[in-house]
Amino acid sequence: MALHRILIVNSPYYQHISEELEAGVRDTLAESEDEIEIETIMVPGAFEVPGAIAMAADSGRWDGYIALGCVIRGETSHYDYVCGESARGLMRLATERRLAIGYGILTVENEAQALARARRSEKNKGRDAALACLEMLKLRKKFVR
């Protein structure tokens, strides 16, 4: 049984959605056969998630990261920039720095879609992000020395 230290970086811009995503993450990690230590930090928005993970990674305190948040399309192109750049930033961290990151930032058209994806009784994307992080930790252990 391995010990994994996981940092959840949560953007509570839509607090009720981010709380449900985090609950899905925590439920899933609690079911793991491995020992998991979890810490959560909050950032202002999805755009700040990659920067926070980069800073946290520099500390060497965590083995894996879970990025959570929600971006709902509005009337301007701001949505496109936030979605694209937050995803690009996380992908860059995963590929260039070999970080194990579970991606749980919802990018949706409206609140109903966000709730359907966040709710543990529905699509439970928090669970998906936690499982992705755990799988990437296994791969990291296998390939990165």
- Residue in 78, 97, 98, 141 annotated catalytic: 78
Type of residue numbered 41: I
In this structure, what token pair is assigned to residue 138? 């296994």
Buried b (16+ CB within 10 A) or exposed e, 24-56: bbbebbeeeeeebebeeeebeebbbbbebbbeb
Residue 37, CA atoms < 13 Å, CB-side half-sphere: 7
Does the annotation count 16 as an active-site position?
A: no
Longest dimension (CA), the chain: 49
Catalogue the active-site residues: 78
